[in-house]
Structure 1
């Protein structure tokens, strides 16, 4: 499909998806969010794509929701009505990204605030350039998180740190966010693209269904008791044991060679 607010480019096994509203710091319109979800869905149907990388054009990754559009009352709707039209579809787009069968990597190139942070929270792995800064920022404008931030942020960085970011409206560095546990790799700005691409090249050597099962298990475990989570792990292993990839992986181990996974 043709995209208006994102750029999509496949580089080897990686599908690069760039938020492309640099003049607005890549702020999230509903159309942009829907295009993101559509790009992920298309990537899942393409066996040559092994992971998606999300990044931003210009100096920001994403500065949050397009508040100018949300706050514009020229259409005659109340603010509550406009928020009700915007937030549920935004949440559905974020959920589509979070639940993708593919690994989703955020390559954070710059400012990441509010809805931009909520988007990063839906990604599996986060590579950030040193100058990038992260913040919730909703409190600065009398708003509340509406894209899952109040749920996902405490789970990713802990309740105390999440409350601090949410209540103060301040920002923290990429290095601080790595210490908090959200950023998985910190690089120089000039190395961001190469580092993200290298990560996908590494993931492409793994079993595609195997990685999908891992994502599924980790996500399910967030809402499960230890007993339920352990049972789900065994049930998932039993399902995965029927795949060609697990047979190939064990054969490669025995034969001391690199596995050639074929399941897609």
Structure 2
């Protein structure tokens, strides 16, 4: 069996590709294990990597959990959820490029992204209810933070799919582009991020993550109290400008 998650580095951008297209990139334990190792390696690389793209091979981004493996014991408790959280908490901004189906566990994986780019042919859905399941990988927390509580309830209660344009309209996707432009758009965004000061971007991501649920006054205090300060090369950057 070939690699289930591919990694390619170029120009300070690490691209991870789910590579189980014959199974619509369904998330089995072997794939999770490879993804976990890549996430650890990218975190360990620090500022050598400025941005990360998560994409998938084949016509679908991810069909969700591989239901054929239900009942098989994972390597540790809350295994999949912990990997989604590690992905979301990478210091590097994460761009997720979604084509075709992005369902349930696949949507929970995509919601780890800082920026989601959808192809026009994308379809997002939360189908936990179809199978009598309840979320344990973050859907009930990350989805309402992205689209608002009431739209999240509609998505989860009905299980109905949302296409790329609707995903963009409600804020689930930052952008919707023609399918043929999906990878190029994700790459352009990642390169723009990688061209910024790593110090600034990493500090921004940390602040955004930490202040999510704070009231404005507390958030303003947090921003000042937890400032990373200016970058070591700030003066050099200003001089170049």
**TM-score (norm: length of structure 2):** 0.92
Contact kept, 8 Å, 1:65 with 1:115, in 2: the verdict is yes
| Mapping of residues 117-196 of structure 1, within 5 Å | 117-196=107-186
Alpha-carbon distance in structure 2 between the residues aligned to 1:86 and 1:19: 22
2:191 matches 1:201: yes
Counterpart of 2:96 in 1: which secondary structure?
strand
Q: Cα offset for 1:111?
A: 0.6
Alpha-carbon distance in structure 2 between the residues aligned to 1:191 and 1:7: 21
Q: RMSD over aligned Cα, in angstroms? A: 1.9
Larger radius of gyration: 1
Aligned to 1:17: 16
Aligned to 1:49: 49
What 5-or-longer segments of structure 2 have no aligned partner?
none
Residue of 84, 93, 97 corresponding to 2:83: 93
Aligned to 1:247: 235
Q: Cα offset for 1:236?
A: 2.9
Contact kept, 8 Å, 1:97 with 1:122, in 2: the verdict is yes
Q: Cα offset for 1:86?
A: 7.4
Contact kept, 8 Å, 1:30 with 1:89, in 2: the verdict is no
Aligned to 1:261: none
- Relative contact order higher in (CA < 8 Å, ≥ 6 apart): 2
Alpha-carbon distance in structure 2 between the residues aligned to 1:219 and 1:14: 21
Alpha-carbon distance in structure 1 between the residues aligned to 2:50 and 2:107: 24
Contact kept, 8 Å, 1:40 with 1:52, in 2: the verdict is no
Q: Cα offset for 1:103?
A: 0.8
Alpha-carbon distance in structure 2 between the residues aligned to 1:58 and 1:69: 22
Residue of 218, 221, 236 corresponding to 2:208: 218
Q: Cα offset for 1:201?
A: 1.3
Alpha-carbon distance in structure 1 between the residues aligned to 2:36 and 2:236: 33
Aligned to 1:5: 4
Counterpart of 2:137 in 1: which secondary structure?
coil
Q: Cα offset for 1:91?
A: 0.9
Aligned to 1:262: none
Alpha-carbon distance in structure 2 between the residues aligned to 1:173 and 1:226: 33
Alpha-carbon distance in structure 1 between the residues aligned to 2:204 and 2:190: 16
Alpha-carbon distance in structure 2 between the residues aligned to 1:37 and 1:206: 27
Aligned to 1:115: 105
